[in-house]
Structure 1
Amino acid sequence: MADLLLPNLLAGNCSDRVCVRVSRFWNFYDTNNETKLLHANMVLIDVEGNSIHAQVYPPTDELFRTRVKEGGVYTFSYFRVRGSNICYKPVENDQMLVFTKWTKVEEVLAVPPAFPMYSYSIASPEQLQARIDIRTQFTDVIGVIAAISSIGTTQTKLRQGSSTKRTITIQTPR
């Protein structure tokens, strides 16, 4: 069975197979009870850089937590494709995946070297300003690291002694 690219998925139950990198993996807890997990979330990227949000609900999340690691590449099959969440979408995609106890997971050991690691969409300062109080998109990237300096030492006025310092340059859209 050939792997489908993310844009080729159709809504509904899906027995097709996708090969994706788990770019991010995080938990979402009930805001009224921080010990109650509502769902685990993933941002998945295919070989062409297309991204999609995936969710898995308790108790099935335990199966994925032990088998799926952030940064790993996997094939998934037998999942549900549905419309994306209305609020706090982590990627620009109108669809998302829901993994169930029937979802098959296989780790890919021979990962192509050009397989993307991260999914991001850089927003200009004006776009960020326009997103204030807007809940449709989850904005968590403000730029791309362009340079990291070597560690140096600096003398501060307030403290006796020296402190270590590193300069990180973040590039934003022009």
Structure 2
Amino acid sequence: MEFMLLDQLNLQQQHGKIKIRVSRLWESTIPHLKNQVLSLECLLIDEKGYSMQATIRKHDIQQFKPKITEGIVYFIEKFNVIPSRDKYKVVDRKYMIQINKWTTIAETTYNVETIPYYCFEFCDFDCIKGKRNNDTCLIDVLGSITAIGPVSYTYVGNEQTPIRNLEIQNSEDDTFPVTLWDKFAIEFDDSLIYEKESIGPVIIIFAGMSVRTYKEKLYLSTCSASRVYVNLEIPEVSAFQNTLQRGQAIVRSIKQIEVAKQPIISPYEQKFANRKTISDLIALNPADVENIKYTCEAKLEEIDTTYGWWYKACYDCKGGVKDYDGTFWCTQCGKNDQSPVPCLIQSSDTDEEEK
């Protein structure tokens, strides 16, 4: 064979040759610095349908970005195989590919029909609940759209950012909230969705999503690696549509999510909103001020270490957990299957800090 398959790659198989399709291509950013690109990322698929993530470092983006197009098949040679990252992987693999300045990329049109365009590892709604604030591997979710909200704005850091809320339903009639941020909120075409609804249920795929919590409620959230597909022609979507058509799940009409009109307050303004002294805060009646935010400027006089410098924390909400029947329990989240991991800062003989 003149090229290797992706599942054959390991740390001992360096500088090989692969034939793949670029299924997804995105610039990796973080919300507070979204104008600063960290790397160029790709999801690659080979003729066996096996997928692997590839990365191009920031200083190599200018060289390779014009040479790579989503959906096209390429031969790639002289790349590095490296361990996968600990966070924000779009596929759960032990290794990933690093494209560097010595890598060669050549487009091919020969026998490309055998390579799939898409690859998903769908997570059901019950699985989502176990992914709260766990960004090791981003998740793919499939469902029908049941509610759409308008575009509104909020501050992320010091910049106003578009946001849009949706709701999706699974084949068991359960619903789950989704939040689209930034370009995903703007580019989501709700008029097209309502047009498609007149023909039948609108099935949507959210790929590369993170799971977040707002006021103790879970929701799916987009990030720079996310992708949205509507009525994609793949077997999983067809199966879901058949389930709805056979009446095995309730087909809900798409409703509108109402958004209360509130003034958009900058972080600087928030620092001084509802300013109170400590005496004022103590005098407040908790029943009268529920869900009202206040600010207070105070000086930290002392740290109370009566109960030590650390505590056993829940992996999800970071609240305290208690030992019970050989495991740990959180009053908010229930059983914690993972034991707490102690994190320490120590000094070496060279006075350098180590974790």
TM-score, structure 1 as length reference:
0.80
Hey, what does 1:123 align to over in structure 2? 123
Q: Which runs of no fewer than 5 residues in structure 2 stay unpaired?
A: 145-193, 205-239, 242-355
Question: Is 1:14–1:77's contact at 8 Å kept on the other side of the alignment?
Answer: no
Name the aligned partner's letter for residue 93 of structure 1.
Answer: R
Q: Which runs of no fewer than 5 residues in structure 1 stay unpaired?
A: 146-163
Hey, what does 1:91 align to over in structure 2? 91
Give the whole-Å Cα distance in 2 for the aligned partners of 1:12 and 1:54: 17
2:195 pairs, out of 165, 170, 174, with 165
CA offset at residue 12 of structure 1? Answer: 5.5
CA offset at residue 70 of structure 1? Answer: 0.5
Name the aligned partner's letter for residue 54 of structure 1.
Answer: A
Higher strand share: 1
CA offset at residue 127 of structure 1? Answer: 0.7
Aligned partner of residue 36 in structure 1, secondary structure: coil
* Alignment RMSD: 2.4
Please list the CA deviations of residues 25-46 of structure 1 after superposition, one character each: whole Å capped at 9, or x if unmatched.
0001254433221100000001
Give the whole-Å Cα distance in 2 for the aligned partners of 1:119 and 1:41: 15
Give the whole-Å Cα distance in 2 for the aligned partners of 1:91 and 1:133: 17
CA offset at residue 137 of structure 1? Answer: 1.0
Higher RCO, Cα 8 Å, sep 6+: 1
Hey, what does 2:161 align to over in structure 1? none
Pair 1:33–1:45, CA change in 2 (3 A) = same
Give the whole-Å Cα distance in 2 for the aligned partners of 1:135 and 1:65: 26
Give the whole-Å Cα distance in 2 for the aligned partners of 1:10 and 1:127: 29
Q: How does 1:40-119 map to 2 (within 5 A)?
A: 40-119=40-119
Name the aligned partner's letter for residue 40 of structure 1.
Answer: L
Q: How does 1:12-51 map to 2 (within 5 A)?
A: 14-51=14-51
Pair 1:144–1:95, CA change in 2 (3 A) = farther
Pair 1:165–1:137, CA change in 2 (3 A) = same
CA offset at residue 72 of structure 1? Answer: 0.6
> Once the two structures are aligned, what percentage of the paired residues are identical?
24
- How many residues in Structure 1 have an aligned counterpart in Structure 2? 155
Hey, what does 1:150 align to over in structure 2? none
Give the whole-Å Cα distance in 2 for the aligned partners of 1:88 and 1:105: 25
Aligned partner of residue 112 in structure 1, secondary structure: coil
Pair 1:169–1:135, CA change in 2 (3 A) = closer
Give the whole-Å Cα distance in 1 for the aligned partners of 2:111 and 2:63: 23
Name the aligned partner's letter for residue 95 of structure 1.
Answer: Y
Moved segments of 4+, more than 6 Å: none
Give the whole-Å Cα distance in 2 for the aligned partners of 1:137 and 1:32: 21
Hey, what does 1:142 align to over in structure 2? 141
Please list the CA deviations of residues 4-56 of structure 1 after superposition, one character each: whole Å capped at 9, or x if unmatched.
00111121572210000000000012544332211000000010011101100
Name the aligned partner's letter for residue 83 of structure 2.
Answer: G
Give the whole-Å Cα distance in 1 for the aligned partners of 2:63 and 2:111: 23
Higher helix share: 2
Hey, what does 1:153 align to over in structure 2? none
Pair 1:84–1:125, CA change in 2 (3 A) = same
Name the aligned partner's letter for residue 165 of structure 1.
Answer: E
Question: Is 1:12–1:82's contact at 8 Å kept on the other side of the alignment?
Answer: no
